[in-house]
Structures are given as structure tokens and as C-alpha cells.
Amino acid sequence: ILNVEQSPQSLHVQEGDSTNFTCSFPSSNFYALHWYRWETAKSPEALFVMTLNGDEKKKGRISATLNTKEGYSYLYIKGSQPEDSATYLCAFSNYGGSQGNLIFGKGTKLSVKP
């Protein structure tokens, strides 16, 4: 059974702190790794899609790295703001089935206090 693990489960930081979360996934037959930001009562919002080992992507204060050989991705938030409070989901797809089938982790819930 393919499994995606995210840590920590939840995180409380002060405004201005930088933080990072981890996503672990099976390294065999890797196809793509997605990161989504999900605020309560809203749609999950795509942050990054990464496909190549060593990929690094950046969007404002948020960046992500990918290591497909060891099966992990890090998401970094620099200078957290209260509006960054959300659940951050990672999802993985592989060549085993259809590449459209995303396998999600449980998410990391981030709370940023002003």
C-alpha cells in the first residue's frame, strides 16, 4: 500500500518565524509531487507541482524542495504571517497506476499567531 506521511501534524508559530514541514513518499516509480494549501471552508489551492529530483520551487515566501531518490519533500515558509495559517497537504503520484491518481498525506496544520 502506497503511503504519504507528513510531519509535523500541527505547528504553532509566531508571526515572523520561519518554518518547514516534511512530506515522505515512496521513492519507487515516482511521477510527481504536489503541495496544496487548504484554508478552512475553502478549496485546496495548488502551490507547487514537482517532477524532477532536485527540483526547487518558490512562490513569494514559500518554497519547496524535492528528493525523489530518498522520497521526501520539504516546504519552507519564510517570515510566517497570520494569513499563512492553513493546512498544507502534499500528494504523490507514481507510474504504477494512472498518473492522475494523487495519494495524499494527512497534512500539516499551521497556525501563525500575530
Partner 1 sequence: EPEVTQTPSHQVTQMGQEVILRCVPISNHLYFYWYRQILGQKVEFLVSFYNNEISEKSEIFDDQFSVERPDGSNFTLKIRSTKLEDSAMYFCASSEALHGSGYTFGSGTRLTVV
Q: Which is nearer to partner 1, 79 or 97 (CB)?
A: 97
Binding flag, residue 29, partner 1 (CB under 8 A): no
Check residue 44 for interaction with partner 1 (CB under 8 A): yes
Q: Is 13 in the site for partner 1 (CB under 8 A)?
A: no
Backbone angles phi, psi at 84, to 5 degrees: -80, -10
Give burial (CB, 10 Å; 0-12/13-18/19+) of 51. middle
**Cα–Cα dist 14/96, whole Å:** 41
Of 48, 62, 64, 92, the one binding partner 1 by CB under 8 A = 48
Residue 80: CB minimum distance to partner 1, A: 22
Binding piece for partner 1, criterion CB under 8 A, among 16-24, 63-71, 74-82, 95-103:
95-103
Question: Does position 72 bind partner 1 by CB under 8 A?
Answer: no
Phi, psi dihedrals of residue 10, rounded to the nearest 5°: -145, 160
100 contacts partner 1 (rule: CB under 8 A):
yes
φ and ψ at residue 82, rounded to 5 degrees: -55, -35
User: Closer CB to partner 1, residue 44 or residue 71?
Assistant: 44
CA 87 to chain centroid: 9
